[in-house]
Chain A
Amino acid sequence: AQKVTQAQTEISVVEKEDVTLDCVYETRDTTYYLFWYKQPPSGELVFLIRRNSFDEQNEISGRYSWNFQKSTSSFNFTITASQVVDSAVYFCALSEGPSGGAQKLVFGQGTRLTINP
């Protein structure tokens, strides 16, 4: 069965520090997608990144970077030089199945990140 574990329930850092959010997943499928979403206090989930199981390249987007390692079933998310606006709950999610199908998302429990000024 699919499972996503975000072991860090809450993280609190001071502004400008780097912070890494961990995500470990379990799946029996060879084809799957991994996602990160941000949920600010307003409640809306904001899509950050999608990675498919065949693409292990790490990605950087501004202050955000993602490290995908199939060998350890991890898809970690790092924010560099954190800012107060980064404060939110971050969810890692997994979906299985072929492209174009009605793949369900399995979410981790979320990590509440607080950036203090």
Chain B
Amino acid sequence: GAVVSQHPSWVICKSGTSVKIECRSLDFQATTMFWYRQFPKQSLMLMATSNEGSKATYEQGVEKDKFLINHASLTLSTLTVTSAHPEDSSFYICSAKGQASPTDTQYFGPGTRLTVL
């Protein structure tokens, strides 16, 4: 149990285009989903927290208009990187928290590696 999927696992895009990443909790309902960014050999940096049906809460320094988050259902959240630039290239990881046991635990997706040319 407690499986979280992400799609796509990797994506390469041209500068100026938008990219959408999906995060799904496959076997539990996720009341809260989180989006992280990880640079090579560094720790995870929280970008935003989203609850189903409400607006995401962004961390300081994260541009809301650039990183659009939608948490449409209890099993799906999406992150759209708008007008991507090379500096947005990174490893993006989502996590989900909800009814999976043990509670109050974030379960992570496999990550999406974004490369912007």
A residues apposed to B, CB below 8 Å = 33, 35, 37, 42-47, 50, 91, 95, 99-100, 102-105, 107-110, 112
Contacts and interface: CB of A to CB of B under 8 A. Distances in A.
B50 to A, nearest CB: 9
Interface string B93-117: 1010100001111111111010000
Which of A42, A46, A107, A109 has the most C-beta atoms of chain B within 10 angstroms of its own C-beta?
A107
B43 A44 contact: no
B91 A43 contact: yes
Interface of B: 2, 31-32, 34, 41-44, 46, 49, 51, 91, 93, 95, 97, 102-111, 113
Nearest to B51: A102
A43 B102 contact: no
Given A37-B108, A50-B102, A50-B105, A102 B49 contact: yes
B44 A91 contact: yes
Given A33-B104, A50-B105, A105 B43 contact: no
Contacts of B97: 102-103
